[in-house]
Structure 1
Amino acid sequence: MIVVTAAGGPTGTEVVRALRGRGERVRAVVATPRPRPELDALGAEVVVADLTGDLFPALGGADALYLVWPNFDPREETGAPAVLRAAARAGVGRLVYHSVLRPQARSMPHHAAKDRVEEALDAVVAGTGARWRVLQPCAYADNLDAAVPAAGDTGQLPSPWGLGTAQSFVDLRDVAEAAAVLLTEDGLDSGTFEAAGPEELTAPDVAALLTAHLGREVAAVDADPPADDGSYARRCLRAMFAEYRAHGFTGSPRVLTALLGRPPRTFADHLAAR
């Protein structure tokens, strides 16, 4: 049995899908007791649990845990180690943490939180017999999906990360497949694995790919980041876009290629599958 947390979100659901595609039994942990037709259709056991509460019922009998913490949640720095510690003490032998590419870029609060979780991993498993693994994805190609219809209508791709720096967008399906490898295959303990897409794309590069995909001219335009509303999530977003604007967010695809046994999907591949 493999437990996947935040399973109602895009990442968790896709990891459940990848695991079920391998024939694995999956317990999908969600935060609220509402219908989950997609998880039900995948044949997952759906369990409602608070990640900051008692997780023993959700962890009982599990062989592995994939810990996805909800996006931009200020409790991650302390909450994620607590969940991993509880899992190790419950006898879960394989702990896989969903981190982020370049967590040491501490100008971004949500990266800094993940960096501190990674720092705590050895102490978390000490004396338990559990072993850890970490997946560090780049920004998802899927994050731009909502902009595609609008680009078709307006001919513009707004870019809050500017026009001159690049990102190595990775398809979420590839991230989920890599997660399934880390959850099910041997020889990967104590490893930290980057998951970056195969291209370094600026916003104008993405606009050119949208032009080819949509059959109409799309231009990238510089855009302001979301306004500051005082929330932790908005502070993280603004810091993230400032970092991307200054330095980009790129990585090598070679680690992901090795995990998948094939090259990662390109952005054009991603668009073609929408």
Structure 2
Amino acid sequence: MIVVTAAAGKTGTAVVRALRARGEDVRAVVAGRRPRPELTALGAEVVHTDLSVPAGWETVLDGADAFHLIWPNFDAEEQDGAPALFAQARRAGVPRVVYHSVLRPQLRAMPHHAAKDAVEEALDGSGVRWRVLQPCAYADNLDDQLPEVERTGELRSHWGLLTGQSLVDLRDVADAAVALLTEDGLDGGTFEAVGPQALTAEQIADEMGRQLGREVTAVDVVPQGPVPQGYVSRCARTMYDHYRYHGFTGSPRVLTDLLGRPPRTYAEHLADVLGARAVQVLPDEPDDPVERTLTRLRDARAAGRG
């Protein structure tokens, strides 16, 4: 049985789905008390527990063969909370811990990267057998913009127009997580999950235009004012500032080896999300192209494709 935290989030749900597709038993840890039908429909055991409260984790980790710690994005409690859960995993005797980090956590200009760097250091001294997954920015992060892009012909880029990003499909990240959670011989390894191409916003806009059948232009959304002081806003601003000046790229070699195949390109990701491969408008789909795109995005997510 494998424990996955933040399981109701985009990353956690993708990992749960990938594990269940391989026939693994999953205990999905979520915050709050509301039902999570999307997880129970996958056949996961849903447990409601706060990541920042160590009490009760003996039960959560009881009988676990592996523990995948995903911390919610831009959460100031991660640097202290994650090491506390590593200690719980050691006491519970969990034989394998996978920490969901980020590509190049040593980039201390970004507070959320610095926090993950500190967590990785704590993990190394935690006394558990560990592996670290370091994904690049997700191709999926642009999906919500697609209806507006189709309507206006503009892709709004908060990271400028000149630098590239090696966008990675979240499904590939989830499959890499499955490998780290289930395969032998990987202890003590740090594994980058990077897409196969370094694309600028203009190149991404060109691909969107090709698949949407209209001209799409990348528009530079230049930040205004000083860096905000609130933790979440500061994380987002410093992240986009770094991307604007330095990009966020890496090598797909490690991910290729983990998957046993090349990772998906952005064009492949976009084609899957839009249903562009030989998909016609169905009788019950809206005639309006923007509403049709929204419908297809919802259907793709429900089917586990986006």
Fold shared, TM-score > 0.5 on shorter chain: yes
| 2:237 equivalent in structure 1 | 238
Q: Quick check: 1:7 aligned with 2:25?
A: no
Residues paired across the two proteins, number: 270
CA deviation after TM superposition for structure 1 residue 122, in Å:
2.2
CA deviation after TM superposition for structure 1 residue 33, in Å:
0.9
Residues 92-143 of structure 1, C-alpha deviation per residue, up to 9 Å, x if partnerless? 1100000000000010000000001111112111xxxx30000000000000
| 1:218 equivalent in structure 2 | 216
| 2:185 equivalent in structure 1 | 187
CA deviation after TM superposition for structure 1 residue 230, in Å:
4.0
| 1:51 equivalent in structure 2 | 51
Letter of the 1:148 partner, please give it. L
CA distance in structure 1 between the aligned counterparts of 2:250 and 2:147, rounded to whole angstroms: 28
CA deviation after TM superposition for structure 1 residue 229, in Å:
5.7
DSSP 3-state at the match of 2:181? helix
CA distance in structure 1 between the aligned counterparts of 2:262 and 2:3, rounded to whole angstroms: 28
| 2:298 equivalent in structure 1 | none
Tell whether the 8 Å contact from 1:226 to 1:238 is kept in structure 2 after alignment: no
| 1:110 equivalent in structure 2 | 112
CA deviation after TM superposition for structure 1 residue 61, in Å:
1.0
- 1:203 maps to which of 201, 204, 223: 201
| 1:75 equivalent in structure 2 | 77
| 1:266 equivalent in structure 2 | 265
CA distance in structure 2 between the aligned counterparts of 1:258 and 1:203, rounded to whole angstroms: 28
CA distance in structure 2 between the aligned counterparts of 1:43 and 1:226, rounded to whole angstroms: 46
CA distance in structure 1 between the aligned counterparts of 2:255 and 2:37, rounded to whole angstroms: 30
Tell whether the 8 Å contact from 1:135 to 1:193 is kept in structure 2 after alignment: yes
Residues 142-185 of structure 1, C-alpha deviation per residue, up to 9 Å, x if partnerless? 00001111110000001010000000000000000000000000
CA deviation after TM superposition for structure 1 residue 57, in Å:
1.6
Tell whether the 8 Å contact from 2:256 to 2:263 is kept in structure 1 after alignment: yes
Q: TM-score, normalised by structure 1?
A: 0.96
Letter of the 1:66 partner, please give it. H
CA deviation after TM superposition for structure 1 residue 224, in Å:
3.0
User: 47-56 vs 96-105, which deviates more?
Assistant: 47-56
Q: Which runs of 5+ in 2 are unaligned?
A: 274-306
CA distance in structure 2 between the aligned counterparts of 1:224 and 1:91, rounded to whole angstroms: 49
CA distance in structure 2 between the aligned counterparts of 1:224 and 1:186, rounded to whole angstroms: 46
Residues 66-106 of structure 1, C-alpha deviation per residue, up to 9 Å, x if partnerless? 00001100011111111111111111110000000000001
DSSP 3-state at the match of 1:145? helix
| 2:152 equivalent in structure 1 | 154
CA distance in structure 1 between the aligned counterparts of 2:222 and 2:27, rounded to whole angstroms: 40
Residues 220-258 of structure 1, C-alpha deviation per residue, up to 9 Å, x if partnerless? 010034886642111000000000001000000000000
Q: Which runs of 5+ in 1 are unaligned?
A: none
CA distance in structure 2 between the aligned counterparts of 1:224 and 1:145, rounded to whole angstroms: 21
CA distance in structure 2 between the aligned counterparts of 1:70 and 1:131, rounded to whole angstroms: 23
| 2:130 equivalent in structure 1 | 132
CA distance in structure 1 between the aligned counterparts of 2:224 and 2:185, rounded to whole angstroms: 42
User: 80-89 vs 39-48, which deviates more?
Assistant: 80-89
Q: Quick check: 1:23 aligned with 2:33?
A: no
| 1:169 equivalent in structure 2 | 167
CA distance in structure 2 between the aligned counterparts of 1:182 and 1:157, rounded to whole angstroms: 35
Tell whether the 8 Å contact from 1:226 to 1:234 is kept in structure 2 after alignment: no
What's the C-alpha RMSD, in Å, of the aligned pairs? 1.1
CA distance in structure 1 between the aligned counterparts of 2:50 and 2:29, rounded to whole angstroms: 9
| Larger Cα-atom Rg | 2
Report percent identity of matched pairs.
Answer: 67
CA deviation after TM superposition for structure 1 residue 50, in Å:
0.8
CA distance in structure 1 between the aligned counterparts of 2:122 and 2:228, rounded to whole angstroms: 31
CA deviation after TM superposition for structure 1 residue 63, in Å:
1.1
CA distance in structure 1 between the aligned counterparts of 2:224 and 2:86, rounded to whole angstroms: 33
| 2:121 equivalent in structure 1 | 119
CA distance in structure 2 between the aligned counterparts of 1:44 and 1:248, rounded to whole angstroms: 37
